[in-house]
Amino acid sequence: MRIGGCKSSQENHTKKRSLQIKSIVIGSLFCAGLLLGGCAANAEPQRYSTTYLDVFDTVTTVVVYDTEEQHANDTMERIHQQLLTYHQLYDIYNTYDGINNLATVNANAGIAPVEVDDKILDLVEYAISMDELTGGRMNIAMGSVLSIWQDYRDAGIDNPDAAQLPPMDELQRANAHAAIDNILIDRANGTLYITDPETQIDVGAIGKGYAGEQIISDLRAEGVDQLLLAIGGNVCSIGSRADGTGWKVGIQDPYSDANLCVVSVSGQNVVTSGTYERFYTVDGKNYHHIIDPGTLLPSVLYDSVSLISSDSALADALSTGLFSMPIDEGMALVERLPDTEALWVLADGTQRMSSGFTAFIVTE
């Protein structure tokens, strides 16, 4: 079924590697919404915004409406500090003084349980539930498989003429250690333990969305009622803009720089996964970063999957989990989840959507 209000094309487009975002377009329309939206002259509250480059390896933007500049700045800086905390805790590549994070847990795989912050235990527990929800398609224990792909992708981007695919036997050996049951949560002792020394955790498919959801929930509890937080392409919102209109977010056409469509959200979250985000080329064919756990190869079903949900963590997890799920199965899953809608761009360029998605589509 075609989606009214959305457009598509088949023109291939090559993306830059630096500061890749998760395919929600924070382009001309979205920037206009951030930089210009909301307040008429002399109206209260006023709009304040800032951008950070030091969290989750992406561009993060915060927009808040407030009657006092100092209070707005304090709110944005508090959000920044929270983001830094989640970034360090969920980092699988780097360790930090005085912190046991997921890199620490991975380094101790098969050695010993690691005492960690509840924010890590909560994330891992939620990620395991998302793996169950998606039938094993959101497996954070596939870190070793994903690391192999990343190594070959990085090498292929650095030296395109020598680009190669990972050998299937190497992927299969790593996948033999990707059982999610190898991850043990001990709430009583506050520890996380990977029982298999060859198993590695990777939360790239859920970490930003989960962090955003926790921060947004805290802000709502504090009484913040108009705010937008965009962690890369993971867009979280509280309320609407000061003029009462929703936040306009462009969803990128996977085949061009244009918007596939524009959605307006007031309190919802928008996340997209796409084949155009991170890929490399081998023998004239592009291989993207979203790996199907069933084949251990990049998923071939879709070119993008977009989620709108009241829960940022759910939206982030589903944008990956649905990518390897047949359309009818994915549609049935989304339709039974409350406050959740999805838009699929299939590999042939056609589009499908859940029953309530068009209610969010607006004109540019």
What CATH number should be reported for the domain holding residue 150? 1.10.3980.10
Residue 91 in tokens: 């980092």
Domain end point (choices 164, 194, 224): 194
Q: Which two tokens stand for residue 200?
A: 């590695």
Mean pLDDT of 70-76: 95
Q: Answer yes or no: is pLDDT of 5 > 80.
A: no
Please report whether residue 156 resides in a domain.
Answer: yes
Closest CA to 220 of 318, 89, 75: 75
Residue 234 shares a structural domain with residue 346: yes
Regarding whether 66 and 118 lie in a shared domain, the answer is no
| Nearest-angstrom CA–CA distance, 240 and 136 | 36
Q: Are residues 240 and 314 in the same domain?
A: yes
Give the domain CATH number at 302. Answer: 3.10.520.10
Query: What gap in Å lies between CA 218 and CA 37, rounded to an integer?
Result: 24
Both 82 and 144 in a single domain?
no
Residues whose CB is less than 8 angstroms from the CB of residue 128 and which lie 6 or more positions away in sequence, other chains included? 140, 180, 183
206-237 burial: b if 16+ Cβ within 10 Å, else e: bbbbbbbbbbbeebeeeebebbbbbbbbbbbb
Q: Which of 174, 194, 214 corresponds to the end of one domain?
A: 194
Residues 77 and 215 in one domain: yes
Do 234 and 322 fall into the same domain? yes
pTM: 0.88
**pLDDT at residue number 6:** 53
The reply to whether 252 and 358 lie within a common domain is yes
What residue numbers bound the domain in which 106 lies? 102-194
Residue 291 lies in a domain: yes
At 233, is the pLDDT very low, low, confident or very high (cuts 50, 70, 90)? confident
283 within domain boundaries: yes
| pLDDT tens for each residue of 103-115 | 999 999 999 999 9
Give mean pLDDT, residues 16-40: 38
Strand partners, 262: 250, 362
Q: Which residue has the higher pLDDT, 306 or 3?
A: 306
DSSP conformation class of 99: B
